[in-house]
């Protein structure tokens, strides 16, 4: 009978030992499971970081203050070239100056249309009137005629296109917005061509005899007085 009790006691002890071992094993696995659970938010954070980086990269193509200023200034310059060109095509005494003026109207009108597309796609409102400096030059040209007009107009064209080439070359290199960069790069060769043509046409205009109507009148008056 004591042997039966011993057997029963041993069995009970075995069951208790098994339960204790199982409990210890469960506690040992719990930290591992927790670490696996924690890994999931980490992966999610990495995903969010990647998305944020992509959005930041896309943000670099937005219009900068420099690009915006270039668009507005290019629009003002293009508008002036067209209006000056129309005046030259009508008032110039030299056929070469007339042809140059018409070329300015044609080429800059085309460039202005391209610039309007860039401005629209990037939310820029373009100016609709000449700036003060261009308006003063327009008023001055309107009062001139003949060879005097030709000289002043070509002088203005050489000066303006030197500035244009410099500004467009700089923007083609440093523009952040791809639309602006493309416009500056594609327009630059035309402006360089304009500058070369303006310089050669200016030489022709400077070789023309100056208007002598006022001079002749003064000379005649002096002779009469003596």
pLDDT tens-digit readout, 56-109: 344 345 799 999 999 999 999 999 999 999 999 999 999 999 999 999 999 999
pLDDT in the model for residue 5: 52
Residue 190: the pLDDT is: 98
Q: Which residue has the higher pLDDT, 140 or 44?
A: 140
Extract the runs of DSSP E, i.e. beta strands, from 5-162: none
Q: Give me the residue label for tokens 């507005």.
A: 72
% of the chain at pLDDT higher than 70: 66
Sign of torsion over alpha carbons 117, 197, 156, 138: negative
How many residues does the structure list for the chain? 226
Question: Beta strands of the chain (E only): which ranges?
Answer: none
Phi then psi for 225, rounded to 5 degrees? -70, -30
At residue 51, the pLDDT reads: 41
Distance of alpha carbon 172 from alpha carbon 193, whole angstroms: 17
- CA 143, CA 138: separation in Å to the nearest integer? 9
How large is the average pLDDT for residues 116-121? Answer: 96
Q: Do 172 and 184 touch, CB atoms closer than 8 A?
A: yes
Neighbours of 182 (CB within 10 A): 14
| pLDDT greater than 70 at residue 3 | no
Mean pLDDT value across residues 165-174: 98
Give the pLDDT of residue 48. 47
Residue, of 120 and 209, whose pLDDT is higher: 120
- The Cα 27–Cα 23 span in angstroms is 6
Contacts of 81 (CB under 8 A, 6+ apart): 104, 108, 160
Q: Residue 223 pLDDT more than 50?
A: no
Of 3-12, 96-105, 149-158, 174-183, minimum mean pLDDT range? 3-12
């Amino acid at each position: 009978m004591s042997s039966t009790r011993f057997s029963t006691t041993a069995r009970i002890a075995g069951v208790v030992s098994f339960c204790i071992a199982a409990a210890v094993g469960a506690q040992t696995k719990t930290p591992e499971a927790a670490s696996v659970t924690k890994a999931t938010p980490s992966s999610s954070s990495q995903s969010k970081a990647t998305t944020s980086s992509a959005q930041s990269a896309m943000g670099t193509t937005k219009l900068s203050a420099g690009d915006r200023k270039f668009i507005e200034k290019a629009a003002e310059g293009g508008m002036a070239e067209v209006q000056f060109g129309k005046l030259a095509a009508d008032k110039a005494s030299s056929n070469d100056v007339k042809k140059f003026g018409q070329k300015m109207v044609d080429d800059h009108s085309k460039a202005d249309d391209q610039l309007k597309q860039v401005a629209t796609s990037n939310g820029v409102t373009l100016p609709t009137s000449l700036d003060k400096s261009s308006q003063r030059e327009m008023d001055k040209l309107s009062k001139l005629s003949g060879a005097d007009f030709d000289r002043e107009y070509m002088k203005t064209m050489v000066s303006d296109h030197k500035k244009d080439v410099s500004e467009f070359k700089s923007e083609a290199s440093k523009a952040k917005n791809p639309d602006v960069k493309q416009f500056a790069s594609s327009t630059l060769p035309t402006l360089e061509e304009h500058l070369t043509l303006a310089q050669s046409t200016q030489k022709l205009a400077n070789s023309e005899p100056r208007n002598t109507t006022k001079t002749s009148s003064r000379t005649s008056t002096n002779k009469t007085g003596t």
